[in-house]
Structure 1
Amino acid sequence: MELLTAKEMGRADKLAIKGGVAGAVLMENAGRSVADEVSLRFPDASTVAILCGPGNNGGDGFVAARRLLERGYFVRLGFDGDPRALPADAAEMAARYSGTIQPLDPALFDHADVIVDGLFGAGLARPLDGKLANLVGAANASGVPVIAIDVPSGVDGTTGMILGTAIRALSTVTFFRFKPGHLLMPGHLHCGELHLADIGIPDAVLETVKPTLYVNEPGLWLERFPWPTVDGHKYLRGDALVASGAADATGAARLAARGALRAGAGLVTVASPRNALAVNAAHLTAVMLREADGPQGLAALLSDTRKNAFLIGPGHGVGEETREMVLTALKATPAVVLDADALTSFAETPDVLFEAIHARAAPVVMTPHAGEFARLFGDVPGASKVDRTRTAAARCGATVVLKGPDTVISAPDGHAAIDTNGTPWLATAGSGDVLGGLVLGMLAQGLGGFDAGCIGVWMHGEAAKRFGPGLIAEDLPELVPEVLEDLEEYGLDG
């Protein structure tokens, strides 16, 4: 599913109206869906406090108030100013509301069963302060559950940043498409449960809006998923290589290798320095083992043209040898995944890495966490995590997977996705190594960098959710077959 920035959503509204859908109809549908959410969640509630702001979000609030009055709720509506000064559609909805209007004041919350936040929508561009900040603070402190319209007031709908202060909602009802701020931190923490309402905007407007940001879900990439074919064999499923660290740092490479194998790569080999061969051999079965000491040893392995995907970084150590091995790999033909120490090794010379990536044709995927990203890209500009990741991907020429609770995957051409299925249980040593292996497995099967990054991240989150509490990195590859089985059934169903 596409994600729309506040600007893109405004354009979608205008295109719908230009196409014959009255703005008042869109607002009526939006307000009704908010009233429906209140009725569904709080069928036995008595008093609803509704906060209406000076724009169309306030108009949605007036519609919700009228609808809830009609359903027998006692409504306290707060609004400051003259309703006739609202934008035209919102002023019309205010005129249709027959109840009383009170000033915006914390007294609205006294003995209320639920609060509806219609102060500001996704397009808020200034920090909340003064009276409105105090009102938001009082709503949060009241203990009364809040239903937010579009986004919780104070959350930037495009960046997810908090503008001064923000409502903490039990649920948020938004319209047509989710906004980036619903999924990006810290805004996501303020949204509660998200609900998407159809208010009558036709999907055809997206052909003109042309969004380039998506939710990372199977619908984005499933039609390109590399399922094995009846007449296939292991070499058709890809031959992946993972660089091992020294004898005291081999586990990360083995985690990645097992992830790649579970993801579907036909063959996976650990490229090990001589001093680590014995310890690696003691722990590998289906994953193969080859000696590769330094850049020359790696070059010899990569000269085998069947090797079509390579991962370096986990447990490899930061320094000159890692830098040289990365550059050796980038001069070869396989797709490359760079993680952890492979990224940090270029913290002082990022342009050397970026030039090598731009000079090759095969895809490169980087999988940094926030610290590794900062070391490699410095103060890359951008108002949001999406903007920063896009800028970084364009600069370096690789698909960048910026990990976190709101992982963002961005291709060099600007297409990006926000992942939504992560879980706190992934905050455990080695989980990122498995992710690198999952991405490697997808690249080995012939996918491009963006699809490989999106699928790897999604499978990683799904596997973790299935295990839950007590998860350790070794558990993740073993859950991948179950994830793939369900994914295959999902594709067959639809």
Structure 2
Amino acid sequence: MITAYTAAQIRAAERVAIDRDGDATLMRRASTAVASVVAERLPHPLPGRSAVLLVGAGNNGGDALWAGAFLRRRGLAVTALLLQPDRAHPAGLAALRRAGGRVLALDPGDPAPAPVRALLTSADAVIDGIVGLAARPPLRPGAAALVAAANTSPALKVAVDLPSGIDPDTGATGPADDGDPVVFAADVTVTFGGVKTGLLLAADAMVSVGIGMEPDPGPAPDGTGSAERFAAAAAAVDAIALTDADLRVLLPDPGAGADKFTDGLVGIVAGSPGYPGAAVLCTGGAVRTRPGMVRYAGAQATAVVARWPEVVAAADPSVAGRVQAWVIGPGMGTDAAAGELLADVLRRDEPVLVDADGLTLLGEHPQWLSERTARGAVTLLTPHDREFTRVFPDLPLDDRLTATRTAARRSGATVLLKGHRTIVADPHGTTVVNRSGSSWLATAGSGDVLSGVIGSLLAAGLPPVLAAGAGAFLHGRAGERVHAAGEAGAQALWSHLRAARV
């Protein structure tokens, strides 16, 4: 499990480490790590190559300067571009100069003139040390102009602690005065003292380096622990991201005495005459995740059983038989009959996952969710952005993490917000950020499969936040396999779900 922390948690750990080891020692450790990552990723031999440092005020700029000094001693030509020369880290600046590095003070009015752009374009590596944990986006105009110029360079781009332009707590980039906010396009971020929650959302590649200032992560699963241990570990930090090892522990497997009634019974209410495929896709996601039994209750029973003969099908939930969790919404329509189905399922005591058309209906009938929450029933909502806005119209999505957490706390439901980084939050604030997946998952029917996957795990007894987190991770891994195989379409996910389990 990748554990992530707020900037305040990191700063508290940093104060303890500075009192114990001293600021200079921590900076040497951090800058050595940055220089090592650059040296490892550049083609060898290193002598004759070049690095450009983007240096702001504060310790991130100091880390960049010290890293530049180490790289200069490895034979690289190193140039530091100082956005605020009078506030550059004195010891780091002196170290770079002693090593033979070049220092350029930038004009605040024009920080990226043609010679600077040419320098960035010809560089082999660009190291971003402009802002640190205290900064909040968007970047100031001078820094934004320099970062925008650096982003056009073909060089290896390495961020110190976090890419300039993102919020360390949320990954948000903030509004820009003109166009999209500017963020340093890091190929890799070298972060210290623990992963920042914003990096789970905004950084594609990270190297987390222990430099002696790591927060206490609280209880950690030992690889053989239960879902409850994972839930406790997740609740002790600001956010988590699951790994393949976590998935192997969390996904239920049948024991020696298992039967079809002990490994999870999931009920699927999906599909309509207009959208028959949604029923097949959603049910297939549940079947391939291997619960004890899948029951289908809806208008497409014949089509579902033709594709999945092991499914027990009925016309509606009232005659479907007992289940341990429901999935409702994909392709079911939004007419009065669909509304009656949703209202009926929400009145039941079992956990309910609501997706797709079910979310549109909830947006029209918010009292159904509030009534369910009031009696303590478990609900899981799995919207994409437009569906989220229908259910929570007053929550802006420029900060997706805060919006998801607020929606969960307000509604009393666990909320999974789909996206490039899918976010899951429960009403208590426990948060999972999913980092698996591929752009090939952005296809019709993919979300229907995901609903079935998560519903199967919910029926097997995983807590909602972990059922959603593990389901999203498994679905993402299957999407990566689809991409690698050059296949296309939501049906291709089925053949890779079982393989993605291991």
TM range (shorter): 0.7 to 0.9
Q: State yes or no: 1:339 paired with 2:365.
A: no
Unpaired runs of 5+ residues, structure 2, are: 175-180, 220-232
Q: Which moved more, 1:206-215 or 1:260-269?
A: 206-215
Q: Is the 8 A contact 2:305 2:311 kept in 1?
A: no
Partner of 1:26: 26
Partner of 1:197: 209
Partner of 1:9: 10
C-alpha distance in 2 between matches for 1:281 and 1:73: 65
Q: 1:326 to 1:113 in 2, by over 3 A?
A: same
Query: Alpha-carbon deviations, 1:101-156, whole Å to 9, x = none?
Result: 32135435524332211111343225333433322222223444322212222222
- Please tell me the residue identity of whatever aligns with 1:17: I
C-alpha distance in 1 between matches for 2:419 and 2:157: 27
C-alpha distance in 1 between matches for 2:25 and 2:217: 17
Unpaired runs of 5+ residues, structure 1, are: 293-297, 487-494
TM-aligned CA deviation for residue 362 of structure 1: 4.3
Partner of 2:423: 408
Q: Is the 8 A contact 1:435 1:456 kept in 2?
A: yes
Q: State yes or no: 1:236 paired with 2:255.
A: no
Q: 1:144 to 1:226 in 2, by over 3 A?
A: closer
* SS of equivalent residue, structure 2 residue 21: coil
After superposition, residues 410-425 of structure 1 pair within 5 angstroms as 410-425=425-440
- Please tell me the residue identity of whatever aligns with 2:59: N
Partner of 1:175: 192
- Please tell me the residue identity of whatever aligns with 1:378: P
TM-aligned CA deviation for residue 29 of structure 1: 0.9
Partner of 1:454: 469
TM-aligned CA deviation for residue 278 of structure 1: 4.1
Partner of 2:307: 283
Partner of 1:267: 293
* SS of equivalent residue, structure 1 residue 347: helix
C-alpha distance in 2 between matches for 1:324 and 1:15: 58
* SS of equivalent residue, structure 1 residue 148: strand
Q: 1:281 to 1:233 in 2, by over 3 A?
A: closer
- Please tell me the residue identity of whatever aligns with 1:26: L
Partner of 2:452: 437
- Please tell me the residue identity of whatever aligns with 1:136: V
Query: Alpha-carbon deviations, 1:42-78, whole Å to 9, x = none?
Result: 2335222212111111110121122112222222122
Partner of 1:40: 40
Q: State yes or no: 1:148 paired with 2:159.
A: yes
TM-aligned CA deviation for residue 388 of structure 1: 0.7
Q: Which moved more, 1:158-167 or 1:256-265?
A: 158-167
C-alpha distance in 1 between matches for 2:375 and 2:288: 28
TM-aligned CA deviation for residue 8 of structure 1: 2.6
Q: 1:80 to 1:135 in 2, by over 3 A?
A: closer
State the TM-score, normalizing by the size of structure 1. 0.87
Q: Is the 8 A contact 1:123 1:156 kept in 2?
A: no
Q: Identity, % of aligned pairs? A: 32
Query: Alpha-carbon deviations, 1:247-267, whole Å to 9, x = none?
Result: 342221221112112212111
Q: 1:480 to 1:95 in 2, by over 3 A?
A: same
Partner of 2:374: 359
C-alpha distance in 1 between matches for 2:217 and 2:330: 44
- Please tell me the residue identity of whatever aligns with 1:124: A
Partner of 2:318: 299
C-alpha distance in 2 between matches for 1:314 and 1:210: 34
Q: Once superposed, what is the RMSD of the aligned Cα atoms?
A: 2.5
Q: State yes or no: 1:474 paired with 2:473.
A: no
Partner of 2:328: 312
Q: Is the 8 A contact 1:327 1:356 kept in 2?
A: no
- Residue among 134, 151, 155 paired with 1:123: 134
Q: 1:11 to 1:311 in 2, by over 3 A?
A: same
- Please tell me the residue identity of whatever aligns with 1:74: A
C-alpha distance in 1 between matches for 2:140 and 2:250: 48
* SS of equivalent residue, structure 1 residue 345: helix
C-alpha distance in 2 between matches for 1:313 and 1:126: 37
Q: 1:311 to 1:80 in 2, by over 3 A?
A: closer
- Please tell me the residue identity of whatever aligns with 2:183: A
Q: Is the 8 A contact 1:115 1:144 kept in 2?
A: yes
Number of matched pairs: 464
